[in-house]
Amino acid sequence: MKNVIRTVLAGSGIGVVGAGLGAGALAVLAIGFILKPLLAILIGWVVGHVVAWVAGGFVAGALSTIFHTSITASMLPSVFAGITLLASYFRHVVRTNDNGVKAQADNAQAKKAWEDMKKELRDSK
């Protein structure tokens, strides 16, 4: 059996080390997909218990008012776990301006155009 696997790997141009690394990478990805939701639920549940302990009545009342429901302080761990699980599937993307010099020049040009327009309005009176 080992000879068959070596022959297949050699025929496809993959060594034993490469196959091991590939299998390891797949295992890490699989574990990540399994553990990510579980960790999100656990973190949300712990945060929910802390919030319920510190300011449970206030937070439960605020959430009940905002969402027109009847959330109690004892429900906060489950609510936070659900919200954390949903939020774990969204990524915040920050877009930056890569050309800051151009943005400053455009800003200066816009300020000049604004000043010219104000001056033209003053002169037209």
Task: Please give the full DSSP string across 44-105, using - where no structure is assigned.
Answer: HHHHHHHHHHHHHHHHHHHHHHHHTS---GGGHHHHHHHHHHHHTT--------S-HHHHHH
Average pLDDT, stretch 58-81?
Answer: 92
Cα distance between residue 29 and residue 37, in whole Å = 13
Residue type, 117: M
Q: For 7-23, what is the mean pLDDT?
A: 63
pLDDT score of 33: 81
Task: Quote the CA–CA distance of 63 and 41 in Å, as a whole number.
Answer: 19
Mean pLDDT along residues 38-60: 93
pLDDT beyond 60 at 99: no
Q: What percent of the chain has pLDDT over 70?
A: 71
Predicted pLDDT at 107: 73
What integer is the mean pLDDT of 17-23? 67
Q: What pLDDT is recorded for position 1? A: 66
